[in-house]
Amino acid sequence: MTQSFQKLRALTGMKDILPDTSWQWEQLEETVRQWLASYGYRNMRTPVLEHTQLFSRGIGEVTDIVEKEMYSFTDSLNGDLLTMRPEFTAGMVRASIEHNLLYDRPHRVYAMGPVFRHERPQRGRYRQFHQIDVEALGLPGPDVDAELIIMLNRLWKILGLKDIRLEINSLGQAEERAAHREALIRYLEEHKSILDEEAQRRMYSNPLRVLDTKNPAMQEMANNAPKLFDYLGEESLAHYQGVCKRLDDAGIAYTLNPRLVRGLDYYNLTVFEWITDRLGAQGTVCGGGRYDGLIPLLGGKPAPAVGFAIGMERLLDLCEQEANQTEQSECDVYMVHQGDDAQRQASLLAEQLRDVGLRVIVHAGSSGFKSQFKRADASGAYVAVILGENELTTRTASVKWLRLEEDEAQQQSVAFDQLATVLTTKV
């Protein structure tokens, strides 16, 4: 007797990427790799699981991520406190310190893959999502800060994206933030009645983050709060202007958003976001900035660093809206056959076709010609190669072109040893 079990489902906010859309991911990943290589960035892969402490220290205790979004658990086998990475930077920096990458020369590195945050799922916001993470380690800027932004501008062009705008700000240095912080806390105390519960809790521990609020009732208060930008000293301003000059050189438009503070604690000087109105409420496609303080905070010899992360789901959503994409076929050639001998011959010929770079599916199982042709058509192949008894005797395949104009010859016979040549000339 067969027992029936209840169907299992994926976790809320965690999506399966099926074959009909995965080609878009692969195409994007390939484009991204080439784009990054053209600026000298090399791939780095760090574990998905890290010690929880890495993120609580590296991201900051009083942040959305660490306070309420991390997937953390105790490893029941040894009691270790572990967390699924909610972002890449902390792990990338940990690895760079651990393997002494930062001692010889600067490094331009990137990673791509899943990250995990326990958020309320909605369009553009998932619990497992994917980031392209790019870090320039060991370079003080402002040249490299600008280069990262110029680089991103190039990616949008490569992908054919429009309507994506750049906002930048400077968070200055620790002393400047301290002076601003005092003024800001005073201001928040004066407006305590307007602050929501979260803001009241954060106003002393992380007052800057209070300004990052999405609460509509607090917008006006946040808009009129003392601006960190007004507390910047000469050096920080020069750094900021150094970035702006280079963006002007490159013809890249930007707006200064003095309220842009970014979700993570470790940023200083340059911060930026690329935003679009085409994705509804979750319009930030990319966020980044300088984080000179993080490397010593994680136990490394002090070194400057700057980077950004792109949300891949949001980027793909935009690509789908704005660029022409042609769906990818399963294969170029579909091989149809009848009889055991024909199947074996088909699989030999298929290997030869793969040798010349064709993507080939050999029909599996035994079914009638008619249903095999249906499969061939559905696969998106541009040609079907047919092998039956006659074809085996004459060592000639029947070739049927599936995507030609009506008036072109749809069918021809091709000797086995000519097959690769004939098929490749028509791709």
Kindly write out the interface string for residues 248-277 of this chain, putting x where it contacts ligand ATP by CB under 6 A and - elsewhere: ---------------x--------------
Choose which of 36, 309, 316, 331 interacts with ligand ATP (CB under 6 A).
Answer: 309
Choose which of 311, 316, 345, 349 interacts with ligand ATP (CB under 6 A).
Answer: 311
Choose which of 118, 125, 191, 359 interacts with ligand ATP (CB under 6 A).
Answer: 125
Kindly write out the interface string for residues 71-100 of this chain, putting x where it contacts ligand ATP by CB under 6 A and - elsewhere: ----------------x-------------
CB of 314 to ligand ATP, least distance (A): 5
Q: Tell me how far apart the alpha carbons of residues 140 and 153 are, in angstroms, rounded to a whole number.
A: 21
CB of 34 to ligand ATP, least distance (A): 21
Q: Rounded to the nearest 5°, which phi and psi values hold at 2?
A: -90, 135
179-184: long-range contacts, CB 8 A cutoff, minimum separation 24: 179/231, 180/208, 180/226, 180/227, 180/228, 180/230, 180/231, 181/207, 181/208, 183/226, 183/231, 184/208, 184/210, 184/211, 184/225, 184/226
CB of 110 to ligand ATP, least distance (A): 14
Residues β-bridged to residue 137: 107, 305
Helices (H), 211-264: 219-223, 234-249
Kindly write out the interface string for residues 275-294 of this chain, putting x where it contacts ligand ATP by CB under 6 A and - elsewhere: -------x-xxxx-------
CB contact at 8 A, 132 and 309: yes
Count residues near ligand ATP (CB under 6 A): 18
Task: Name the residue whose CB lies closest to ligand ATP.
Answer: 311
CB of 36 to ligand ATP, least distance (A): 17
Rule CB under 6 A: say whether 135 interacts with ligand ATP. Answer: no
Per-residue DSSP letter, 25:
H
Q: Mark the segment that binds ligand ATP (CB under 6 A) among 3-11, 305-313, 329-337, 401-409.
A: 305-313
- Give the pairing of strands 165-170 and 72-74: unpaired
Rule CB under 6 A: say whether 58 interacts with ligand ATP. Answer: no
CB of 142 to ligand ATP, least distance (A): 21
Beta strands in 262-340 (DSSP E): 268-275, 284-290, 305-311, 333-337
CB contact at 8 A, 44 and 91: no
Q: Mark the segment that binds ligand ATP (CB under 6 A) among 76-84, 126-134, 293-301, 414-422.
A: 126-134
Tokens describing residue 274? 């690329």
Amino acid symbol at 281: A
Amino acid symbol at 79: G
Residues within the interface to ligand ATP (CB under 6 A):
87, 117, 119, 124-126, 129, 131, 263, 282, 284-287, 309, 311, 313-314
